[in-house]
Structure 1
Amino acid sequence: MKINKTLNLPALEAVKTARKSIENVVNYTPLQYNARLSEQFGANIFLKREDLQPVRSYKLRGAYNKIKSLFNEGKISDGIVCASAGNHAQGVAFSCKQLRIKGTIFMPVTTPKQKLEQVEMFGGTYAEIRLVGDTFDASKKAAFDFAETSGAAFIHPFDDVQIIEGQATLALEILEQQKEKSDYIFIPIGGGGLASGIATVFKELSKETQLIGVEPKGAPSMKTSIHNGVNTELSEIDGFVDGAAVKRVGDLNFEICRNVLSDCISVDEGKVCDTILQLYNKEAIVLEPAGALSISALEQYRDQIKDKNVVCIVSGSNNDITRMEEIKERALLYKGFKHYFMVKFPQRPGALKDFVLYVLGADDDITHFEYTKKNSRETALAIVGIELSNPNDFEGLKQRMQNLGYFESYLNDNPDVLNMLV
């Protein structure tokens, strides 16, 4: 998807001012060369490690810049309020404690416990958490209502010029750190604040750099909006990539991104999970789903980035360890190792033993089995999850199941059923 190049960007001087405002709070994060990814893709791959910020995400840049500006202007006598799925909340909480400002933070009920605990830790007595709704958008509405009734200043997570300017300071660092010009930058997109900020700087100082926005497949709000030519609210989203799952991007962010992004693509959540596991197992880097989006997109650009200098924005590492089993499951499903079936079992002794002997491969494993004998019919249905040692063995497994009369249906193609199992 190619983008209209008419520019409408915040002022570069304002970004430089924001940098001075936040320099004593925000870390100058490393731009790290990654040898494994570089060899894998035949390119020079660098990771901008925003997961190493004090709140483990880039969100501190924009939040502190906005709140500090209001503080300097004397506009926060009634405190501040925000809505966030996690990382913006932590940035706001951290800023509240630094500036000794009372903040009220609205978060979805579905927010991982780890992120709630982090907000409490960073904000201390200065941040109050209120859990409302199942999505960011529901929390945002509650926060807007609170701002109107209380007089608290609303700190938007992305649709705000000073938020964008704060996020843009990250791009100034990349330009200083790179030894050669970056040919491509892959940027995760939730509401669009980070992409807007990076675009602000690079379209002024490095026009040749290709800016690629990356969204989760289950929440492609920016990609859809650019395709439609108008900011479009999605009717429903998959909230798994919680740091980037919003139904509607910011109006300001949409206008900037559609004018300056070279492309906007989406990545399957299963691919994101596989990237998280690869980074953890091979580099000991712990990423949250949104933090792995940019790296997950490299496969789609394999041909274009060959022999090029590429930067991936690693946006955050606030991952709850209790989610790792689900992450592993989604990765196995995506790569074709894990399969779920509805299986017809003859109601006789030894039926399961025959299934194991004559259907499964020597190194395959049953990882899920649901069956209850409730009647005296000749056959009964069971839900069976099978993990293959080789994903190429799937067709053979299915064929044996059909030939021996066990096969009833394949559940991986049924999202409603699969979501109940995973």
Structure 2
Amino acid sequence: MNAVAPLVVDDDLLARIRAARVYEVAQVSALEAAPLLGERLGRPVLLKREDQQPVFSFKLRGAYNRMVQLDAAQRARGVVAASAGNHAQGVALAAAKLGIRATIVMPVTAPRVKVDAVRRFGGAMVDVVLAGDSYSDAQAAAARLQAERGAAFVHPFDDPAVIAGQGTVALEILRQHPGPLEAVFVPVGGGGLLAGVAACIKALRPEVRVIGVQATDSDAMVRSLETGERVALDEVGLFADGTAVKQVGALTFALCRQHVDAMLRVDADAICAAIRDIYQDTRSVAEPSGALALAGLKQYVAAHGDGAGALVAIVSGANMNFDRLRFVAERAEVGEQREAVFAVTIPEERGSFRRFCAALGRHDITEFNYRIGDARSAHIFVGVRIASRDEREALAAAFRAQAFDVLDLTDDELAKLHLRHMIGGRSPLARDERLYRFEFPERPGALTDFLGRLHPDWNVSLFHYRNHGADHGRILVGIQVPAAEQPLFQRFLATLGYPHMDESTHPAYRLLLRE
């Protein structure tokens, strides 16, 4: 991208960055080593902790730097802003600090944690309006309000003062790490942070690479730089809501076209894996957009191998809705390629289930779903923790060696999002079925041990297990036991050695699973 002829956008941008008044509300955020991730990648990895700011995001830098420069007449008319959440919190805090009335338009899809935080930071100085499904929709609504009121518009990214405020992040990085630095990875929505960071670094340390990272379903900057002109997306993904922008700014595009070395796209699974990496090294939970840069850094290392100098990822925010954590935890294993997901078909005959368990070996099972539905074959959905893609392929080969049909669903979005939760239902073949819940100590190989101890004389007609990360694993099992064999079955349960509970009369089971 640096091959493009230089564009003179703002000759004094570096001076603006140095003069930015961000520290009246912001703090110099830490630049911390990520030792666990660094050891795994074989490279020094540093995290720029913008999630530690008072609004848990870098956005207050640009918002405050813009609003503090308003004259008395502009302050009296108030300001209007549009934001997916983090910029809104910065504007709200600045409004309360400077005594300026602010109307902030946020998309209805903005996480509740961000909406509540805007009201909390702004107090009586802020009115929140919810409109549209994305930042671009909220921006259109804010433009109408601005025109009606004659108020100043505090743009989240396409404004020199905002860009300068965000550029102070780069100044801090260069001061905190004067040693060898290979690349800085920056999350990108509209491009304000990337534009400020890139302009600053290229002015002071031009040998340092600046790499922007976007979600695959919100890649307006990537497409714009690829085509040489600003591209407007029809739709944007909302998982990384903080960077869900349909069109980047004119000024940010020009600056990024001039200064940015490369752009990367990452998917939701890679973002989830990066959220977990940040947590493991810092015990902090980044929001999806906050983990974008680290996901890109990991992709870069995988593609480029060894290099010189440290790698920095800007952790841009931590305004995570708590209810998203379940999705993040579930997808992080796949994003790190630590979980393989298979649909395995085995013959519905004695001994085949034991052969299936033997093929699994001592692998740690993350999920196991099965419901009897065919007199000739059984279809099992299984998730297995792995260390590499090679191990995933070896496991599939082990299933095939037992003459089992295997469908690798690890990269299948439908299977990961929906089908893994939909296996079950009534079955006319589940005669004499008894339903039991079991608990066992959660340790590697424990589920395989349990499977191996199930008596071969009774057919397993239903099986459900998910690894929830708790001390004890919980399994739901349907076992076909004729009435005459109930005493023998009870003696078997007593010798099995696992706590259990008979759920055969549970009303939900009888309604949804019992024929």
Q: TM-score range by the shorter chain?
A: 0.7 to 0.9
Q: Distance in 2 between matches of 1:60 and 1:275?
A: 24
Q: Tell me, yes or no, if the aligned pair for 1:398 and 1:407 is still in contact at 8 Å.
A: no
Structure 2 residue aligned with 1:120: 119
Structure 1 counterpart of 2:194, one-letter code: A
Q: Tell me, yes or no, if the aligned pair for 1:3 and 1:260 is still in contact at 8 Å.
A: no
SS at match of 1:243: helix
Q: Distance in 1 between matches of 2:317 and 2:413?
A: 28
Deviation of 1:229 after TM superposition, in Å, equals 0.8
1:357-380 deviation digits (Å, cap 9, x = unpaired)? 57755545363648697xxx7579
Structure 1 residues 39 and 379 mapped into 2: Cα distance closer, same or farther (>3 Å)? Answer: closer
Q: Tell me, yes or no, if the aligned pair for 1:337 and 1:389 is still in contact at 8 Å.
A: yes
Between the aligned residues of both structures, percent identity stands at: 35
- 1:221-300 equivalence runs, <5 A: 221-300=220-299
Structure 1 residues 394 and 408 mapped into 2: Cα distance closer, same or farther (>3 Å)? Answer: closer
- 1:9-408 equivalence runs, <5 A: 9-10=9-10, 11=12, 12-17=14-19, 19=20, 21-70=21-70, 72-180=71-179, 182-302=181-301, 303=304, 306-338=307-339, 357=357, 361-365=361-365, 367=367, 369=369, 384=381, 386-388=383-385, 392=390, 394-395=392-393, 398=396
Deviates more, 1:311-320 or 1:88-97: 311-320
SS at match of 1:232: coil
Deviation of 1:13 after TM superposition, in Å, equals 2.3
Structure 2 counterpart of 1:367, one-letter code: E
Deviates more, 1:229-238 or 1:329-338: 329-338
Q: Tell me, yes or no, if the aligned pair for 1:29 and 1:50 is still in contact at 8 Å.
A: yes
Deviation of 1:167 after TM superposition, in Å, equals 0.9
TM-score by length of 1: 0.85
SS at match of 2:239: coil
Structure 1 residues 395 and 180 mapped into 2: Cα distance closer, same or farther (>3 Å)? Answer: closer
Structure 2 residue aligned with 1:415: 413
Deviation of 1:6 after TM superposition, in Å, equals 0.7
Structure 1 counterpart of 2:383, one-letter code: I
Q: Distance in 1 between matches of 2:378 and 2:234?
A: 35
- Say which one has the larger Rg: 2
Q: Tell me, yes or no, if the aligned pair for 1:7 and 1:260 is still in contact at 8 Å.
A: no
Q: Distance in 2 between matches of 1:86 and 1:212?
A: 24
Q: Tell me, yes or no, if the aligned pair for 1:184 and 1:305 is still in contact at 8 Å.
A: no
Pairwise CA RMSD of aligned residues?
3.3
Deviation of 1:356 after TM superposition, in Å, equals 6.5
Q: Distance in 1 between matches of 2:419 and 2:80?
A: 37
Q: Distance in 2 between matches of 1:399 and 1:78?
A: 69
SS at match of 1:297: helix
Deviates more, 1:117-126 or 1:219-228: 117-126
Deviates more, 1:299-308 or 1:316-325: 299-308
1:181-228 deviation digits (Å, cap 9, x = unpaired)? 634222221110011111222232222222111222232221111111
Q: Tell me, yes or no, if the aligned pair for 1:3 and 1:262 is still in contact at 8 Å.
A: no
Gaps in structure 2 of 5+ consecutive residues = 421-515
Deviation of 1:9 after TM superposition, in Å, equals 3.9
Structure 1 residues 421 and 327 mapped into 2: Cα distance closer, same or farther (>3 Å)? Answer: farther
Q: Distance in 1 between matches of 2:31 and 2:40?
A: 19
Deviation of 1:414 after TM superposition, in Å, equals 4.3
Structure 1 residues 246 and 419 mapped into 2: Cα distance closer, same or farther (>3 Å)? Answer: farther
Deviates more, 1:320-329 or 1:356-365: 356-365
Q: Tell me, yes or no, if the aligned pair for 2:166 and 2:197 is still in contact at 8 Å.
A: yes
Structure 1 residues 361 and 75 mapped into 2: Cα distance closer, same or farther (>3 Å)? Answer: same
Deviation of 1:281 after TM superposition, in Å, equals 2.1
Higher RCO (CA-CA < 8 Å; seq separation 6+): 1
State whether structure 2 residue 6 is matched by structure 1 residue 6.
Answer: yes
Structure 1 residues 370 and 102 mapped into 2: Cα distance closer, same or farther (>3 Å)? Answer: farther
Aligned residues: 415
Deviation of 1:240 after TM superposition, in Å, equals 1.4
Structure 1 residues 254 and 406 mapped into 2: Cα distance closer, same or farther (>3 Å)? Answer: same
TM-score by length of 2: 0.71
Gaps in structure 1 of 5+ consecutive residues = none
SS at match of 1:77: helix
Structure 1 residues 350 and 58 mapped into 2: Cα distance closer, same or farther (>3 Å)? Answer: farther
Structure 1 residues 266 and 351 mapped into 2: Cα distance closer, same or farther (>3 Å)? Answer: same
Deviation of 1:121 after TM superposition, in Å, equals 1.7
